[in-house]
Amino acid sequence: MLIQEDAVEIEVMLKQGLGVREVARRCGVSRNTVRRVRDEGARRRYQREARVGKLTVFEEYIRERLAAAAPQWIPATVLLREIRERGYVGSHSILRTFMASLRPLQVEEAVVRFETAPGRQMQVDWAEFRLDGRRWFAFVVVLGFSRWIFGRFVEDQRFETLRDLHVAAFDALGGVPHEGLYDNMATVVLKRDADGKGRHRFHDGMLALSRDYGFALRLCRPYRARTKGKVERGIRYVRESFFVPLVAEFRQRGEALTLDIVNARFSAWQRDIANQRLHGTTGERPCDRLVVECTRLLPLPGGRPAPSVREVQAPRAVIPRPTTPIQRPLAAYETFSAGVSP
């Protein structure tokens, strides 16, 4: 195939007065090719040979992953990690440019973030996830300073579940932040400004948990969920970088997801990816900043939280009676004593 550089070189030699035979010899082409270039000149368009890019062999894989996730979207950071495991050696920007051609540009609303001191605040929220008619809820905690993330998927949002997940988060941290920031969870706040502006009426169970573990309950501003933007962004990160890719993976394999599988993978994802990544805002890894944050946390209490009213009032489990009669028939004893001398 004659590329543009070859054609230009032939034209230059012809303009310099060299004959067709000599040009063909120097360029290693046939005389007919030289004549064609001479006769067609600028009218002919030459194209460069298509080069195989570093991403080319992975483009079909990327399309298949995005198709399996549709209508959701898998972030470039997730796909970059996957194709690097398969041998990709190119840059992140090459992948982002390719993915931009597959998705319309979306303009996001700017978010103003408020930074807090180490150990000061944790932001807590629920997120709903639906899969094949099932509804799961993700409990997500993000520490304000380090951006360390903790979460777990459950089937309900009852107070007892919320309480136990708080305890699990504190145990994983080895301490307690000074305050927790929430929105209008019914299991946290019963009524805003019940006794005056800023004097809210909290759920009795959350007040007890707050007292036992020593952290203050704080509410974000009404209709301004972005005042707890760290956990909002964290939930989006969980959805896009963990849940959507996981669902797409199991769909591609034709396998069903269970809550146990989701939580096992979620725990590993938090440990190996989410808390190890270089955070876009802080420029540091959450696990590294957590070392500083842990020095400012409140100590864990000695005991465990008291049971809730629901748990206290729950009926005790009925112990089933034995089905085998205690008294045996006389014939059984005759069998046992057979062959025994008096």
Give the tens place of pLDDT for each residue, 259-288. 999 999 999 999 999 999 999 888 999 999
Q: How confident is the model at residue 222 (pLDDT cuts 50, 70, 90)?
A: low
For residue 104, cis peptide bond before it (omega within 30 degrees of 0): no
What is the reported pLDDT for 170? 96
CA distance 116 to 144: 6
**pLDDT, tens digit, 9 for 90 and up, residues 56-87:** 889 899 988 988 888 888 989 999 999 999 99
Q: Which of 69-73, 96-100, 111-115, 187-191 has the lowest mean pLDDT?
A: 111-115
Q: Which residue has the higher pLDDT, 227 or 148?
A: 148
> Looking at residues 319-339, what average pLDDT do you find?
54
What is the reported pLDDT for 181? 94
Q: Is 253 exposed, middle or buried (0-12, 13-18, 19+ CB in 10 A)?
A: exposed
- Given a cut of 90, whether residue 306 has pLDDT beyond it is no
Q: How confident is the model at residue 28 (pLDDT cuts 50, 70, 90)?
A: confident
**pLDDT, tens digit, 9 for 90 and up, residues 125-173:** 999 999 988 999 999 999 999 999 999 999 999 999 999 999 999 999 9
- Given a cut of 70, whether residue 51 has pLDDT beyond it is no
What is the reported pLDDT for 240? 93
- Given a cut of 70, whether residue 108 has pLDDT beyond it is no
